[in-house]
Every structure is written in C-alpha cells, then in structure tokens.
Amino acid sequence: MRLTFVGADHEVTGSCHFLEAAGKNILVDYGMEQGQDTFVNKPLPVHPSKIDMVFLTHAHIDHSGYLPTLVINGFSGNVYTTEATADLCDIMLRDSAGIQEFEAEWRTRKAKRQGKAAYEPLYTTEDAEALVKRIVPCPYGKILDIAPGIKARFTDVGHLLGSAAVELWAQEDGREVKLAFSGDIGNTNQPLLKDPECVEQADYVIMESTYGDRSHGERPDYVKAFSEVIQRTFDRGGNVVVPSFAVGRTQEMLYFIRQIKEEGLIKGHDGFEVYVDSPLAIRATGIFNEHTKECFDEEATELLAKGINPIQFPGLRLAVTSDESKAINFDKKPKVIISASGMCEAGRIKHHLKHNLWRQESTILFVGYQAVGTLGRKLIEGADTVKIFNEEINVAAEICQLAGVSGHADREGLIAWASGFKQAPKRCFIVHGDDSVVDGFAALVSEKLGWKTMAPYSGTVYDLLADKAEVITEGEPIVKKSSEGGTASNAAAKKASSDAHKRLLGNANRLLALAEKSGRMSNKDLAAFADQIAALIGKWED
C-alpha cells in the first residue's frame, strides 16, 4: 500500500496524489498548475488507462483541471465527489476546455504566420464532457462502499461550494489503513458557506498549507471596507473593477453588495449597477442557488427562509454575450464590474483592465489570492505598466485589496482543523504550500500538536503499511529555456506530441484494458472481438 506525491508539493497549485491500495490505482485530485511553476512534477506512476478511480476534493481547476486528459488517455473509471462539486465541474471543466481550444486556435494562427507547427489544445470540450459523464455525485457525511477494500466519506471543509476532505479506508493484507486528504480548508465566518468540519481520526493526514505562514488577523468589516472603496471611486466618476474567481468569490461579493444596497451605504449614487461579466460565474451562481440546503450556513439559510435570496438584488446585471460585455465599458456611469479570471490571467477581466487601468478615476479591487507570476500579482506589487493583449497599459487606477477575504484558512485556522483529530496520526504530510511555507508549517504542526510531519517533493513514495518512506526525492527546479524564455517542464514535454497521436495511444491503452477485463465474455463474443481488432489492424497496416 503506497502513497505517491505527484503535484502541489512545495507548490500551491496542481494538486495530485496517487494511492496504490486494495489492488487499485487511485488518484486524489488531478489539478492544473497555475501561476509560477517552481518544480517539475513527476509523471503519474502508471498510465492513465490503469487508473481505477479518482476522488476529487473540489471543483477548482488547480484540483480538477487535468481530469479530462485522463479520458483522452484511456481512463474508464469513475470520479467520486460531492453533489455540488459534480455540478460545478460540469461547467468549470467545459469552460476550461473552451479556454484550451481558444488559446490553441490563437497560437496556431500566430505559429502558421511564422511557418511553425499548429498547437493542439490540452483537451477539448468533447473530452471534458466525456469526463463529466464519469462523475459520481456523493452526499456529505456518509461512508460509501466504493470497491472491495475501499470505502470513502466526504466531509465539508467550507472552502468552496461542495468542497470536502476525502476520508479513505483501504484494506490490504488483512490490515486497514485510513487516510484523510484535507483538500483546501476553508476560512471561518465567511458568507454563504458553513465553517470547516473536522475529521476525528486517520492513520495518515495529507494537509494543505496555503496560508501556513500567516494570519488573516482580526476579521475585518467587509461590508464597511467594500462600501468605502465603492463610495470614493464613484465620487471620482470611476468604475470599481473586481477581478474575481467565477466560482465562490463572485458569489461572496454579491452577498456583500446586497447588504450594502439594503443598508443604503452608498450615498449619492442610488440604484448603482453591478455587472457580473462572466458566463461561468453566472452559471455557477445558479448552482449555488441549487445547493443551499447542504452547503449554506445558518445566516444565509435564515435569509432564504425570509424569502430573501442572499446573492440577488436590484441593479444586478448579467453580461452573457460578448456584445453585452463590450457594452459595459461604453456606459459612462460609475459601476461595479465583477469579472473573471480572479488572477487576471485570462477571460473578460483583461478587457476591463485595458479600459480602466489607465483611468485615475477607477479602482481595481482584488479580493483573492494572487499567485506569483500572474498579472494580478504584478498589479498588487506596484507595476507601473503591464502588457495586455500585447499593448503596454499605464497603471493609473487605484489598486487595492479587500483585506482578509480569503477562501483559505490561515495558520491558526489550519492548526484548529488539525486539532480536531482525537489522536495523532502516524504521519502528517504537508502539501499545497509555497516552497518557503511547507517546511515551516510542518515544524509548526509538530511543535503545536506533537505530530510526526513531512513536507514531500513530487515523486516521494511512502509505504503506508510499513510506515516509512520508500523513495524520498528532492525538488527538481524548472529550468528556463534560453531561446524562448519559457519553462521546461513535464507539461511542456507532453505538448510536444500531437493531440491526435495522444488520442490514438490513449484509445489503444483503453482497448488493452478492455481486453484484459474480457474474461467473462463468451467464447463466441471473444472470437468476434478478436476478429474486429484484427480487421481494424489490417485496415491500417495496408
């Protein structure tokens, strides 16, 4: 029984863990890396067609974004996750596929002008849809028999609608081992979602540490702070542009603005309009409204009981089409514009930044984490100019942050979650934190709780039955390409082969996996199957 660390090890994004247990190959999360990529991730220990099942902690792309590539490469198992996460993945993975296709098309046009080969998307909308069909929605709090020797339970950790810690029980060689994967642990006292629930027992804990080196401090008055930003910006005649994650943070901002409007906190700008300019955010808001019973906290539930939708209000405008999006910046009235992506790396927010960054009257208000290397991080760190759509834009707008707004638990919150265990695990693995954070947080957990801890790099393998590391790796830093200034990573290497070739190899592996499982077929069906394969091979050999 082995646990292999693949992604989000000494890094914040790209979460992925591989578990060999009860004769099964299991993944917990398979996320994209976003922002600055520090270390090379080791490849999956087995081919994707050999993965039997996946457990997904939540829908954020840095935890789910690579899942469609499994299908491309022959994965035929199920993805188990909560009901709300299943619904969010349905829209988020399709949206991610659309971005892949758009960027591939844009890069291909540029490459052709330079006489270079075409780019292929990492995956297509069709691939995302195929993955979504393999998702099995699961309720919170119920122990589920997944396969012989494998049981699972999802526990709400309050980070995102549907987010969960995944508890896995695995039986092998007459012994049972329990693992608890924290996923991303939520902040407390946030709008809409419940506070994180604790897990009481596990032999091994795999725990995130995004904010393991800092405290959010005393909870600020979000409504007051947001109101002050809106008031002074509107008084200048500018727009408040809010780069916001489409799922989670956008809905929280709507919650605050509903209260601001209800209490009449903005003077002299009655009936001001708020635009949500993100088709994904609009669809996600609908899903939030469908999962109020199992996910909303007491305060939001009380509003609903009074007939008040906590994320809707007069003056809310939804921009779905590109024409509706473009029209926003031709309207000269001061307004709030909430748009994705939250780190300003893609999507419609870049258009709004292009129209507002150079205006002294406007404000760019950041309400979430900005990874190193992203456009959002550059703006927060005081860049005088930034490049958007290959155009240098002067930064004259006010740049500010709404302090304390975070979907992640801080250092104290993480320790509080870990303190919920009734006894110390055999080992706690610290993951999902910057290289400068994980070792320090591992030491803090040891100091505060007396636990044995480890902050593994990608490729580390731990024998769970023997309770010892089988392979310990060191981080392999990303090496810059001298010619193009890009990064050489396993992701870049994967893109070297064409999408069509990857599909061919994936389906070949899928066919092999099916053949290996065909023992229950009748001799007649087996013979027909073999003849069909032979005929297909013969067609292409000729």
Residue 395 has pLDDT above 50, yes or no: yes
- CA 189, 138, 206, 69 dihedral sign is negative
Whether residue 170 contacts residue 23, with contact meaning beta carbons closer than 8 Å, is answered with no
* Residue 164: per-residue pLDDT: 98
Measured between alpha carbons, how far is 394 from 379 in angstroms, rounded to an integer?
A: 11
Span 316-345, pLDDT tens digits: 999 999 999 999 999 999 999 999 988 898
Span 215-237, pLDDT tens digits: 988 888 999 999 999 999 999 99
pTM given for the model: 0.85
Span 341-375, pLDDT tens digits: 888 988 899 999 999 999 999 999 999 878 778 89
CA distances from 437 to 9, 208, 250, 306, 398 (A): 11, 11, 28, 44, 30
Q: What is the average pLDDT across 63-68?
A: 97
Q: Is 220 helix (H, G, I), strand (E, B) or coil?
A: coil
* Residue 509: per-residue pLDDT: 59
**What confidence category does residue 457 fall into, taking pLDDT thresholds of 50, 70 and 90?**
very high
Burial 443-460 (b: 16+ CB within 10 A, else e): ebbeeeeebebbbbbbbb
Distance separating the N- and C-terminal Cα atoms of the chain? 46
* Residue 493: per-residue pLDDT: 38
Instruction: Name the nearest CA neighbour of 253 among 270, 236, 240.
Output: 240
Higher-confidence residue of 36 and 304: namely 304
**What confidence category does residue 539 fall into, taking pLDDT thresholds of 50, 70 and 90?**
low
* Residue 390: per-residue pLDDT: 87
Instruction: Name the nearest CA neighbour of 96 among 77, 79, 121, 71.
Output: 121
* Residue 520: per-residue pLDDT: 61
User: Count of H helices and E strands in the chain?
Assistant: 17, 25
Higher-confidence residue of 495 and 162: namely 162
Residue with tokens 């803090």: 444
**What confidence category does residue 501 fall into, taking pLDDT thresholds of 50, 70 and 90?**
low
* Residue 487: per-residue pLDDT: 39
Ramachandran region of residue 10, left (φ > 0), alpha (ψ -120 to 50) or beta? left
Residue 264 has pLDDT above 50, yes or no: yes
Span 77-120, pLDDT tens digits: 999 999 999 999 999 999 999 988 988 898 898 888 888 888 89
Measured between alpha carbons, how far is 342 from 71 in angstroms, rounded to an integer?
A: 28
